[in-house]
Structure 1
Amino acid sequence: MSYKNFPMVPRVIFGRGSFNQLSEILEPKRLSINSPFIYLIDDVFRNNDGLLSRISLAYDDKIFYISTKEEPKTSQVDALVEEIILMTKERPSGIIGIGGGSVLDLAKAVSLLLTNDGGAKDYQGWDLVKNEAIYHVGIPTLSGTGAEVSRTAVLTGPEKKLGINSDYTPFDQVVLDSELTADVPVEQWFYTGMDCFIHCVESLNGSYLNTFSETYGNMAYELCKEIFLENSLSKVESQEKLMMASWHGGMSIAYSQVGVAHAMSYGLSYLLGTKHGIGNCIVFDYLEEFYPEGVKLFKEMKKIHNIELPQGICSNLSDDEFNIMINIALNLEPLWENALGKNWKQIISAKKLKELYQKM
Structure 2
Amino acid sequence: MVPKVVFGEGCFDQLSSILSSKKKEKAPFIYLVDNVFEEDTKFLDRINLRFNDKLIFVSAEEEPKTSQVDTLVKNIKSEFTYLPSGIIGIGGGTVMDLAKAVSIMLNNKGSAADYQGWDLVSKKAVYHVGIPTISGTGAEVSRTTVLTGPVRKLGINSDFTPFDQVVLDPELTKGVSKNQWFFTGMDCFIHCVESLNGTFLNAFSQSYGEKAYDLCLEIFLGDTLSEKESRAKLMMASWHGGMSIAYSQVGVAHAMSYGLGYVLGTKHGVGNCIVFQYLSEFYPKDVALFKQMVAKHGVTIPQGICQNLTEAQLNTMITVALGMVPLWENALGADWEKVITPEKLRELYLKM
Q: Distance in 1 between matches of 2:257 and 2:175?
A: 26
* Structure-2-length-normalised TM-score: 0.99
| Equivalent residue in structure 2 for 1:122, among 114, 125, 146 | 114
Q: Quick check: 1:224 aligned with 2:222?
A: no
Instruction: State the partner residue of 2:17.
Output: 24
Instruction: State the partner residue of 2:168.
Output: 176
Q: Which amino acid aligns with 2:223?
A: N
Could you say what secondary structure the match of 1:29 adopts? Answer: coil
Q: Distance in 2 between matches of 1:336 and 1:246?
A: 22
Q: Quick check: 1:330 aligned with 2:322?
A: yes
Instruction: State the partner residue of 1:5.
Output: none
The alpha-carbon deviation at position 58 of structure 1 amounts to 1.1
Consecutive unaligned residues in structure 1, runs of 5 or more = 1-7
| Equivalent residue in structure 2 for 1:245, among 237, 250, 254 | 237
Could you say what secondary structure the match of 2:249 adopts? Answer: coil
| Equivalent residue in structure 1 for 2:5, among 7, 12, 30 | 12
Q: Distance in 2 between matches of 1:49 and 1:203?
A: 40
Instruction: State the partner residue of 2:279.
Output: 287
The alpha-carbon deviation at position 354 of structure 1 amounts to 0.7
* Structure-1-length-normalised TM-score: 0.97
Within-5 A mapping of 1:201-350: 201-350=193-342
Q: Distance in 2 between matches of 1:218 and 1:50?
A: 38
Q: Distance in 2 between matches of 1:219 and 1:77?
A: 34
CA displacement 1:39-78 (0-9 Å, x = unmatched): 0000001011231010111111111101111100000000
Q: Distance in 1 between matches of 2:331 and 2:40?
A: 42
Could you say what secondary structure the match of 1:65 adopts? Answer: strand
Instruction: State the partner residue of 2:145.
Output: 153
Percentage of pairs with the same residue = 66
> How many residue pairs align between the two structures?
352
Instruction: State the partner residue of 1:42.
Output: 34
Q: Quick check: 1:143 aligned with 2:135?
A: yes
| Equivalent residue in structure 2 for 1:352, among 344, 349, 352 | 344
Q: Which amino acid aligns with 1:98?
A: I
Instruction: State the partner residue of 2:123.
Output: 131
Off by >2 Å, runs of 4+ in structure 1: none
The alpha-carbon deviation at position 175 of structure 1 amounts to 0.1
Q: Distance in 1 between matches of 2:188 and 2:277?
A: 15
Task: State the superposition RMSD in angstroms.
Answer: 0.5
Within-5 A mapping of 1:44-63: 44-63=36-55
Q: Distance in 2 between matches of 1:246 and 1:217?
A: 10
Could you say what secondary structure the match of 1:342 adopts? Answer: coil
Q: Distance in 1 between matches of 2:186 and 2:42?
A: 28
The alpha-carbon deviation at position 231 of structure 1 amounts to 2.4
Q: Distance in 1 between matches of 2:47 and 2:191?
A: 32
CA displacement 1:253-299 (0-9 Å, x = unmatched): 11100000000000000000000000000000100000001100000
Q: Which amino acid aligns with 2:41?
A: D
Could you say what secondary structure the match of 2:146 adopts? Answer: strand
Q: Distance in 2 between matches of 1:69 and 1:104?
A: 14
Q: Which amino acid aligns with 1:71?
A: E
Q: Which amino acid aligns with 1:358?
A: L
